[in-house]
Chain A
Amino acid sequence: MSVANTMELVCPAGSLPALKAAVDNGADCVYLGFRDETNARNFNGLNFDDAAMKEGIRYAHDRRKKVLLALNTYPQSENWQRWTRAVDRAAEYGVDAIILADPGLMAYARKAHPNLRLHLSVQGSATNYEAINFYVEHFGIQRAVLPRVLSLPQVEQVIANTQAEIEVFGFGGLCVMVEGRCSLSAYATGTSPNCDGACSPAKSVRWQQTERGMETRLNGILIDRFKDDERTGYPTLCKGRFDVEGETYYAIEEPASLNTLDMLPQLMAMGVSAIKIEGRQRSPTYVSQVTKVWRAAMDACRREGEKFVPRAAWMADLNKVSEGQSHTLGAYYRPWK
């Protein structure tokens, strides 16, 4: 039960106001990134410059909360130093951990800053305990964030076979592809999540009202078309409707949010160390609302154990901010596959 008592709520901070919203509403940790391609949410207007970073760390630490820095993209040979300098800055500013994906960068961090805690990013694509233990043994990573592809029993199997703490996504936008190995955006737009930290970037997007409906395009490729009574969506590449053998449908994924609130007792019981909320691109309002619900839920679950039932009001609040106004259990629920 001791792990359940210390299960952390890890919330996204795409900006300083969002960081404060998360901390004020009960997050145990916040995660954030610098304003460049060293992290996988490299979008315009997002993330922290040095001043905001220092202020955010101060704000969180004053309230005994932790700050995790995402450095989870893959440096290339020609820009290697941008990432190593980011690691140095993270250590200097006093973040509680850095979240990495690149093995070379992990080796650097280990050597240059042996006391800096390392977390394995979901971008490291470690979907089994042999892979996680590889990172534990070689780089001393202390926590691994699991890609959203494992069923609950598979998550349990991982926990049983590794010393590393396990952090899982509990809520937010769903990547249907295994994180860290998706080149769909690079194929369509030239922007790679692995190297550029972005997928389906705004600069490649075009919205066009036509007589057939509102068309959304990514680098000119038609991702979807909406009739007047349909709610339009951002053309994330894998969330469009496509034609397969004459049928038009969400061939890859429907726009829906992951929401595992129903599974909280099981996640706690199996020893998950932290629940991660996705959403660094979302507003401070989103962060407030989601953090508040999850804080209440985790506290209630701790008290009620197996008898825990998510309150209808919580689900309603989460649905309001969900993608496509609906949610899914994703891969945690095997029939989803």
Chain B
Amino acid sequence: MKLALGPLLYYWPRQTTMDFYAAMAEEPVDVVYLGETVCSRRHELRLADWFEAAEGLLAAGKEVVLSSQSLLESESDLKTLRNLVEAGKEGRMGVEANDMGAVRLLEAAGVPFVAGPTLNIFNGHTLALLAGMGATRWVMAPEMSREQLAGVLAESPKAMETEIFVYGRLPLAWSARCFTARHFNLQKDACEFRCLAYPDGLALSTREGEPFLTLNGIQTQSAKVYNLLPELPEMEHMGVALARLSPQSEHMSEVIAQFRGYLDGKLEPGAAWNTLRTLELSEPCNGFWYGKPGLNLIE
């Protein structure tokens, strides 16, 4: 099973981000997803910067995929999307489609693509349609269970690669409103880029102090960290090709090492799990995989 580094969901300063990807080039991840998937106002990295990061990763032998924005509202958002499709045409980097508009453009351009987690692929019929349009890989929506996955895999084309989100705060919702800006009584258009101050998102708790969600601009995430490390052998047995790890601001190398170590048979799952507990941003959960409320942890 390959390891994929999912797109960076948070907003970091340009140098921090470039340093991060320079470091990732040395890591035992096979695929790296680049690009801004959350907010079109985030411009620390322009497209040219993402391409620069890509070159370093390609030189290190990584597969690079450019991820498109999940929520596309404006003509300017569509222009950025068209630029990604153009880059995909060259064939050196893949493109992840996170909106049906992206699928339309990629199909029209004849560019094979990754069907991203917000395309709502819940059954084999939809997956087959996307395969026909050029999808060669799909990323399962994190809310789906292993039963639902088995159902889709039973009907999916053999050549289609499956990728599962196995580690990180879960993206749960998108909005036109920016909740980070709202916290500071600012509007999205004048947000002062406050999300730069929260490299792993802004914590939201209940009125009795229980961590519940994480605010990441227009994206709302779980407070808990999804962690399916113990479930990797089962996934591999089901035919899952890639495990996606979502970047966090610190200890990413150590996180990757636990997953790679376990997959290579060099680490016991218990030991890897315990190490991850010291590196995680918060409590782990795995409810979605088991068809339960996402915040549950099924031992």
Judge: A and B partners, yes or no.
yes
Interface residues of A (CB under 8 A from B): 74-78, 80, 101-105, 107-108, 124-131, 133-135, 137-138, 148-151, 154, 157, 176-178, 180-184, 186-190, 192, 194-195, 219, 221-225, 238, 240-245, 247-248, 251-253, 331, 334-337
Query: In the docked arrangement, what's the CA distance between A107 and B126, Å?
Result: 9
Contact call A190/B151, Cβ cutoff below 8 A: no
Contact (A181, B101) CB under 8 Å given A77-B124, A103-B126, A186-B288: no
Query: Quick one: CB contact mask for B152-192 with A, threshold 8 Å, 1 for yes?
Result: 10110000000000000010111111110011000111000
Contact call B99/A131, Cβ cutoff below 8 A: yes
Q: Which 3 A-B pairs have the closest CB atoms?
A: A77-B151, A104-B125, A130-B101
Contact call A178/B177, Cβ cutoff below 8 A: no
Contact call A182/B172, Cβ cutoff below 8 A: yes
Contact call B73/A154, Cβ cutoff below 8 A: yes
Query: Is B253 in the interface zone, CB < 8 Å from A?
Result: no
Contact (A181, B207) CB under 8 Å given A131-B104, A190-B291: no
* Supplied contacts A130-B78, A177-B173, 10 more A-B pairs, CB within 8 Å: A105-B125, A126-B101, A157-B75, A181-B120, A184-B213, A244-B183, A244-B203, A252-B179, A335-B187, A337-B187
Segment touching A, from B6-14, B42-50, B140-148, B236-244:
B140-148
**Chain A residues whose C-beta falls within 8 Å of the C-beta of B129 in the assembled complex:** 103-104, 107, 138
**Chain B residues whose C-beta falls within 8 Å of the C-beta of A181 in the assembled complex:** 70, 118, 120, 173-174
Considering the complex, give the chain A residue whose CB is closest to the CB of B176: A149
Query: In the docked arrangement, what's the CA distance between A128 and B77, Å?
Result: 9
Most central of A101, A135, A148, A176 by chain B CB within 10 Å? A176
What is the number of contacts between chain A and chain B, taking CB atoms within 8 Å? 216
Can you show 13 pairs from A to B with CB atoms below 8 A apart?
Answer: A104-B128, A107-B125, A126-B100, A131-B72, A134-B103, A149-B176, A178-B175, A181-B120, A187-B222, A187-B295, A195-B148, A225-B207, A337-B188
Candidates B74, B143, B189; contact of A192 at CB < 8 Å: B143
Contact call A178/B122, Cβ cutoff below 8 A: no
Q: Is the interface of B mostly helix, strand, loop or mixed?
A: mixed
Query: In the docked arrangement, what's the CA distance between A76 and B73, Å?
Result: 28
**Chain A residues whose C-beta falls within 8 Å of the C-beta of B104 in the assembled complex:** 130-131, 133-134, 137
Considering the complex, give the chain B residue whose CB is closest to the CB of A330: B176
* Closest chain A CB from B191 CB (angstroms): 10
Query: In the docked arrangement, what's the CA distance between A105 and B155, Å?
Result: 15
Query: In the docked arrangement, what's the CA distance between A181 and B72, Å?
Result: 13
Query: Quick one: CB contact mask for B77-117 with A, threshold 8 Å, 1 for yes?
Result: 11001000000000000000001111111000000000000
**Chain B residues whose C-beta falls within 8 Å of the C-beta of A182 in the assembled complex:** 172-174
Contact call A244/B120, Cβ cutoff below 8 A: no
**Chain B residues whose C-beta falls within 8 Å of the C-beta of A180 in the assembled complex:** 120
Candidates A125, A225, A248, A337; contact of B178 at CB < 8 Å: A337
